[in-house]
Amino acid sequence: MTISRRELLLGAFGRSPTAPRVPGVARLDRERCLAWSDLDCRHCVDRCPRSGVAMILEDFKPVVVPEACDGCGDCERICVTVNIYPAIRVISKSEA
């Protein structure tokens, strides 16, 4: 099976659409985040399907709104493509 770069970036290895979803929420580690280190990055905000609601920018830095996040994992998958040490991971709501 050959995976294109685009499919990889868009999450070809992500969760199957038919797989059961465990309720989750994104957690942002500001110490690992490129934007919080004053570098120009907002890939997670751009990739989030609920951008402006679940993932917002404050002073050009991403902030997760846990109450609005559905835990889809798109932000986590895009972060790993631009950051050596990914700053976002989706955790179960019970861990949050």
In the chain, what are the domains? Answer: 24-92 (3.30.70.20)
What is the reported pLDDT for 11? 55
Phi then psi for 5, rounded to 5 degrees? -60, -40
Residue 49 tokens, joined: 């399907």
**Angle at the Cα of 13 from the Cα atoms of 7 and 17, rounded to 5 degrees:** 95
Question: Average pLDDT of each block of 10 consecutive residues along the chain (96 residues)?
Answer: 59 50 86 95 95 96 95 94 91 80
Query: Rounded to an integer, what distance in angstroms lies between the CA atom of residue 41 and that of residue 34?
Result: 6
**For residue 10, how far is the Cα from the chain centroid?**
11
Cβ atoms of residues 29 and 87 within 8 Å: yes
What is the reported pLDDT for 23? 77
Query: Rounded to an integer, what distance in angstroms lies between the CA atom of residue 1 and that of residue 88?
Result: 28
Reported pTM: 0.73
What is the reported pLDDT for 16? 47
Cβ atoms of residues 14 and 83 within 8 Å: no
